[in-house]
Amino acid sequence: MTSSLFINGQWEQGAGAAFSSINPATGEAVWQGHAASPAQVDQAIQAARDAFTAWADLSFAERCEQVQRYADELKANKELIAKTIAAETGKPYWETLTEAAAMAGKIDISIKAATERTGERESDMPGAKAVLRHKPHGVVAVFGPYNFPGHLPNGHIVPALLAGNTVVLKPSELTPHVAQLMVQLWEKSGLPAGVLNLVQGEKETGIALAQHAGIDGLFFTGSSRTGHILHEQFAGHPGKILALEMGGNNPLIIDEVADVKAAVHETIQSAYITSGQRCTCARRLFVPATEWGDRFLEQLTSAVSQIEVGDAFAEPAPFMGSLISEAAADGMVAAQETLRELGAQSLVELTKLKAGTGLVSPGLIDVTAIAELPDEEYFGPLLQVIRYRDFDTAIAQANATSYGLSAGIFSDDEATYQRFYRRIRAGIVNWNKQLTGASSAAPFGGIGASGNHRASAYYAADYCAYPVAGIEADALALPATLSPGLKID
């Protein structure tokens, strides 16, 4: 049984319920441990509180040095990180190597972002100077999803620590091993006790942490459903910062482009990478109801049918690994069934490949006949096709979602792209490029049910610190003239 919690620089057993993680492609046990009890959540927050003043008092340069030592650990252990993520999520090893690289890449980007977006400024004013500085919030909770169990919590933790906050991390209960390894690397890098604490557990642990009076903020990446619960919970607490990165029901519009093969490739990278388990994945594909559209769909159908699915470490490597769990696989089969009952037709059927695993084949489904398409994020490899007759209708349908994370268009005509850009409602808008694979050097976030206007990645610096404006003079001095009606003898 693993000592699953890291509180005040010590590893300890959880006193809550036992839980475990498995490799979803093989069913092999990966990790076993116990959840944190409410008392341990309390201790973790207290440890973060106790460590806060000393950590925040360090200079930015000193905190950068500490974070750079963690980057060295990330680089030295990249294969171990990638293997751990692959074993616990079922994502292909070639892909988890890119996740490990993104974690290391986050450090320099976050230092640059903190300097540019939350650095210090001074300007002269009569007899004084106007100054702008930033301060950390205090103790912040970080909640992570299972689909990028290293990269996305890391994307909150690194900027939070650089800003001078201390952190309590609650990772996804489906990926405790990745979180444990990440925290072990922070420990190895020499991070002072209490600056980063880890509480493992299921929803109950999340609830205990999120509702705790001792946190000053919460940085969340996960589903829109959970994000909405947190948002309601934070209502009436304007003093606490809440950053929500949530899901999407992302549209991709295809125009009659010259390079059909490239369009097929970018569509596959948009919808099926990570077995469709990326928040940015294309969910709805708008295809012209023309002969060109028929040809495009034939090629797409053929390419989707040939996507290799398999174990994370299989050779030759598959494009798609397993979904996170058998329950997720069953959920995708059920989603396909719901769409069919509403009138959809499968072009490529999504099927469960092996009982007891999360392995599914990719699905492509024509939902044009459905008058009221459910506005759901089906978090897996099931792309919904909608045939369109005119571009304005396609844009209106693309916008017919409560979400607003990513959107894209493939078109050879720049004016068409500009029209799309002006009308579409999303935080990520791409032209002739896959919807997935956003850059950490840009802001990352969505509107509507996808976020609460606290974009992450390059803009994470913004929610990790608050601005303090001041007017400063070395000494008090009487002004040359006093205001009317004043007399100071």
Ligand X SMILES: NC(=O)c1ccc[n+]([C@@H]2O[C@H](COP(=O)([O-])OP(=O)(O)OC[C@H]3O[C@@H](n4cnc5c(N)ncnc54)[C@H](O)[C@@H]3O)[C@@H](O)[C@H]2O)c1
**Annotated active-site positions, please?**
245, 279
User: What is the 8-class DSSP label of residue 409?
Assistant: E
Is 225 annotated to bind ligand? yes
Angle (nearest 5°) at CA 221 between 364 and 375: 40
- Positions 277 through 306 that interact with ligand X (CB under 6 A): 279
Sheet-wide strand order for 128-136:
121-125, 128-136, 465-472
Is 223 annotated to bind ligand? yes
Least gap, CB of 71 to ligand X (angstroms): 22
378 near ligand X, rule: CB under 6 A: no
245 near ligand X, rule: CB under 6 A: yes
95 near ligand X, rule: CB under 6 A: no
Instruction: Find residue 220's DSSP bridge partners.
Output: 143, 244
The single residue among 110, 172, 270, 452 that binds ligand X, judged by CB under 6 A, is 172
Amino acid identity for residue 346 in this structure: S
C-alpha dist (Å) from residue 441 to 156, 266, 287, 320: 14, 21, 31, 26
Binding partner at 222 among ligand X, ligand L2THXQ4J, none, C-beta below 5 to 8 Å by kind: ligand X
The single residue among 6, 319, 379, 458 that binds ligand X, judged by CB under 6 A, is 379
Binding partner at 216 among ligand L2THXQ4J, ligand X, none, C-beta below 5 to 8 Å by kind: none
Is 227 annotated to bind ligand? yes
Cβ nearer to ligand X, comparing 145 with 362: 145
Binding partner at 105 among ligand L2THXQ4J, ligand X, none, C-beta below 5 to 8 Å by kind: none
Binding partner at 377 among ligand L2THXQ4J, ligand X, none, C-beta below 5 to 8 Å by kind: ligand X
- Positions 417 through 446 that interact with ligand L2THXQ4J (CB under 6 A): 436-438, 440, 444
Distance CA 346, CA 349 (A): 6
Distance CA 74, CA 66 (A): 13
Place of tokens 């999360």: 358
Distance CA 249, CA 269 (A): 16
- What backbone phi and psi angles, to 5 degrees, belong to 366? -85, 115
The single residue among 113, 152, 273, 329 that binds ligand X, judged by CB under 6 A, is 152
C-alpha dist (Å) from residue 97 to 68, 148, 239, 358, 457: 20, 12, 39, 21, 19
Least gap, CB of 173 to ligand L2THXQ4J (angstroms): 18
- What backbone phi and psi angles, to 5 degrees, belong to 14? -70, 145
Distance CA 93, CA 419 (A): 39
Complete DSSP assignment for 441-460: TSEE--SGGGBSS--EETTH
Which one of the spans 159-167, 215-223, 364-372, 462-470 is the region binding ligand X (CB under 6 A)?
215-223
- Residues binding ligand L2THXQ4J: number (CB under 6 A): 13
Distance CA 373, CA 368 (A): 9
Q: Which residues bind ligand X (CB under 6 A)?
A: 143-148, 152, 170, 172-173, 202-203, 206-207, 210, 221-223, 226, 229, 245-247, 279, 377, 379, 405
Where is the binding site for NAD(+), in residues?
Answer: 222-227
Q: Which residues bind ligand L2THXQ4J (CB under 6 A)?
A: 147-148, 155, 278-280, 436-438, 440, 444, 456-457
